Structure 1
């Protein structure tokens, strides 16, 4: 299938292939197919199935922030949390629609190239920098979890109450070991679609986490006994052991951006679209909708059952709250291990868009080369490991990155791309789709302003109100 491009200032609309197999007709696990296929791209034929693409995009959405959603619910109430989560899921799906529509108009499947088509070289550089900043922050947050949680898990399985100084109980050594032995081999795969199996396993680990949260709800009484102090946590039953539907407090406003960023997966959308077998905008939108709906259900159930277990005593990181009940609980230790596996297997998926952005920025005309492919992965992991090892408190840096890059990826850039790329003769600025895109972009600037304001308030007051991140 030949890509139709802009030429001599005249626009030709790109019509994506819509006559491929429907998601329901395609096998979930990829297999070899017989016969010739038309290629969606001039130099690349996607081979990833619908199911593997769902696994990869769901894994990109799923972040460490799921551990803080129960805390977010405790600061918003069940009804307000549900309303916010529904709105954000719908907005995220609409944002992906804008991206796919822009990509379909000009036949481009790279975020950076969309930026170039919309705003020239400046747009390309901006898109590449935003993707790189956001995903490096996400990779670092995942490795921070490995650094601090994995030694505790190993220590608990060995029955040690205190670290005895061995290398395998040192978080810095462990993240280097995990990066070299697990993350790097996965990150050197040529295509993102190959990670569908590891993404599926990662999601299975998070499903186990959800099942354990539900199970623990019916096994931990309220009020519960603090294991460390051997004292009962005193609750006023009417206030703290009763679910609240609407809550407004000092932390409520700060949880709104956290929820808004829970569905950030936009840097991975176009790479997954590129590698999709029988690609079309309709099929990729279906993949996005299935992934967002799946994560919506997981987020909501985790938040509800975690909150209904500890109510007002829910901590910013849910697993820490369980440790107060019994730090040597075998099930919780297994859950910790499952979460560690999940975040570790997510790192390669997050690394792919960074490498693609750097290749588009530094080597735009170069063909694929294994040495360059592997070298960029090694350098990225080296930089992220240095950040995690040598920066003692990187939370504020992550806050700035998240407050600027996440609204840009979800709201601002997709809206601006749509406004600039879709021609005026097809959709005037006064048309409803363009007005919606303009309002959507303005919403992104509002979220960015809110997030930066809350971070500034944290710095001024010296308090930490954040309940987790993506």
Structure 2
């Protein structure tokens, strides 16, 4: 299929598309960069500088390819969300499965950010409150108070109030990175240069340690949830422009993560913690204190941002379990049905040179009639963002508050018993991280590509890449998950 035949939601020239390539790349970069970078120095201490850098390159490349692969799936089918891509490939059950996996994944992520919030704010409260280092405040109490303070954000149904949080996150983590670089530079004196320091691990000969490091490194590039919304907002969203935005974002994240990992490891050495901030002393460095303070605010504000999609995903699955699959489609406007009609018209090859920006009402009606004659259902596969189905649970106010309480309480109870955030990132990265970021996009593309065959060299290359990514990531999922469980036990 040629790029001119791509199905875009909203359409190519829609006034809703206002983001430039630079803005799109920055937004994707800001949403990818988060608390996961605080554990990269720990991953380097396990794998070594050379092996860790190679793992970072591999993670960046396959993540970049996987993000663009999901964009191709969206453009071939007109799907506007990750769940819709799964539905276009395998039907409604796959959409529900993706919702369940995303919900569980985000619960783990919320737990990880709670662990970070507990560590960061306990250290800051100790400094600000001038507590004795031998009797610091209870981290369980500090985390509980922190969660109580953000309850107004947790119960929101819209995150409009936090729309600038990604910029705060980027700025605060950047300050931390600069502070760590400064600390590493001052720590390594001329007599203990990197290349002459015997305490520096260049490469690890322990394969088990490499299996522990790679999930943490790959998790620092996870942005699969955000790439389709960013593509949907891009002005003139040609394939080359969305690819440029994705490449710019991943390259920025790679440079930033590499600097953060190296500086954090060289500063803390073999004693580096799963959260590198535990190795820092913000009381002795105002610059480091500022970075940790900003990072603490960011970590706390990320929790409600992750809670909303987590809650929506889990409630959608619960709604299906209680009431069964949704069978009552909401009547849609003609403009909302257009992407679906175009997609299905292409699948039955009634209009090979269809132009979505110049379609008339007569053509829509003819295509819809042709689809019905061929047994295609046009209402049951509309985009998720049009509220296709009437739900019973999701819009219930009591369920909304109760589910919020259950999710937060569950994550809180796990967070206070987890010894370190690296354990959370390891489990998250090696299991659901590989599944969501690599396996599902490749499987969906292989299925969708058969319905929209294109015998160009580019299409064949993507098919081969999808098979290689599917096989290698499946192997990595089993190997890394097994090793992580063994280490935890």
TM-score by length of 1: 0.75
Residues 116 and 275 of structure 2 are in contact (CA less than 8 Å); yes or no, is this contact kept in structure 1? no
Q: Pick one of 427, 444, 451 that aligns with 1:417.
A: 444
Q: Which residue of 2 aligns with 1:208?
A: 175
Q: Which residue of 2 aligns with 1:38?
A: 14
Question: Is residue 2:478 matched to residue 1:449?
Answer: yes
- Taking a change above 3 Å as real, the CA distance of residues 281 and 178 of structure 1, as seen in their structure-2 partners, is farther
Question: Is residue 2:293 matched to residue 1:337?
Answer: yes
CA distance in 2, matches of 1:373, 1:294: 42
List aligned pairs for 1:215-254, cutoff 5 A: 215-220=182-187, 240-241=198-199, 243-249=200-206, 251-254=209-212
Deviation string, structure 1 residues 70-116 (Cα, Å, up to 9, x no partner): 22223323222222111111110100111011110111111111111
Which secondary structure does the structure 1 equivalent of 2:280 belong to? helix
- Taking a change above 3 Å as real, the CA distance of residues 198 and 177 of structure 1, as seen in their structure-2 partners, is same
Residues 118 and 140 of structure 2 are in contact (CA less than 8 Å); yes or no, is this contact kept in structure 1? no
Bigger CA drift: 383-392 or 63-72? 383-392
Q: Pick one of 381, 393, 402 that aligns with 2:417.
A: 393
Which secondary structure does the structure 2 equivalent of 1:344 belong to? helix
CA distance in 2, matches of 1:58, 1:373: 35
CA distance in 1, matches of 2:403, 2:260: 32
Q: Pick one of 126, 141, 146 that aligns with 1:155.
A: 126
CA distance in 1, matches of 2:83, 2:135: 48
List aligned pairs for 1:94-109, cutoff 5 A: 94-109=65-80
Bigger CA drift: 428-437 or 113-122? 428-437
Question: Is residue 2:431 matched to residue 1:404?
Answer: yes
- Taking a change above 3 Å as real, the CA distance of residues 211 and 170 of structure 1, as seen in their structure-2 partners, is same
Question: Is residue 2:270 matched to residue 1:274?
Answer: no
Q: Pick one of 96, 101, 106 that aligns with 1:135.
A: 106
Deviation string, structure 1 residues 299-355 (Cα, Å, up to 9, x no partner): 1111112222233333332122224xx765444332321221222233344345435
List aligned pairs for 1:62-211, cutoff 5 A: 62-161=33-132, 170-181=141-152, 183-184=153-154, 188-189=157-158, 195-211=162-178
Which secondary structure does the structure 2 equivalent of 1:422 belong to? helix
Q: Which residue of 1 aligns with 2:216?
A: 258
CA distance in 2, matches of 1:378, 1:56: 30
CA distance in 2, matches of 1:368, 1:55: 35
Q: Which residue of 2 aligns with 1:297?
A: 255
Deviation string, structure 1 residues 343-385 (Cα, Å, up to 9, x no partner): 223334434543564576557524899x949888755643342
CA distance in 1, matches of 2:141, 2:455: 59
Residues 82 and 225 of structure 2 are in contact (CA less than 8 Å); yes or no, is this contact kept in structure 1? yes
- Taking a change above 3 Å as real, the CA distance of residues 307 and 376 of structure 1, as seen in their structure-2 partners, is farther
Deviation string, structure 1 residues 439-461 (Cα, Å, up to 9, x no partner): 111122112102221123214xx
Residues 143 and 175 of structure 1 are in contact (CA less than 8 Å); yes or no, is this contact kept in structure 2? no
Which secondary structure does the structure 1 equivalent of 2:252 belong to? helix
Residues 271 and 353 of structure 1 are in contact (CA less than 8 Å); yes or no, is this contact kept in structure 2? no
- Taking a change above 3 Å as real, the CA distance of residues 315 and 190 of structure 1, as seen in their structure-2 partners, is closer
Which secondary structure does the structure 2 equivalent of 1:97 belong to? helix
- Taking a change above 3 Å as real, the CA distance of residues 380 and 138 of structure 1, as seen in their structure-2 partners, is farther
Q: Pick one of 396, 406, 410 that aligns with 1:383.
A: 406
Question: Is residue 2:303 matched to residue 1:347?
Answer: yes
CA distance in 2, matches of 1:273, 1:352: 21
CA distance in 1, matches of 2:185, 2:197: 20
Instruction: State which structure, 1 or 2, has the greater radius of gyration over its C-alpha atoms.
Output: 2
- Taking a change above 3 Å as real, the CA distance of residues 347 and 275 of structure 1, as seen in their structure-2 partners, is farther
Gaps of 5+ in 1: 5-11, 21-36, 40-44, 224-236, 463-470
Which secondary structure does the structure 2 equivalent of 1:161 belong to? coil
- Taking a change above 3 Å as real, the CA distance of residues 291 and 412 of structure 1, as seen in their structure-2 partners, is same
Residues 114 and 143 of structure 2 are in contact (CA less than 8 Å); yes or no, is this contact kept in structure 1? no
CA distance in 2, matches of 1:167, 1:452: 32
List aligned pairs for 1:52-67, cutoff 5 A: 52-67=23-38
Larger relative helix fraction? 2
- Taking a change above 3 Å as real, the CA distance of residues 336 and 252 of structure 1, as seen in their structure-2 partners, is same
CA distance in 1, matches of 2:298, 2:136: 27
Residues 412 and 440 of structure 1 are in contact (CA less than 8 Å); yes or no, is this contact kept in structure 2? yes
Aligned residues: 412
Gaps of 5+ in 2: 320-325, 327-386
Question: Is residue 2:402 matched to residue 1:426?
Answer: no
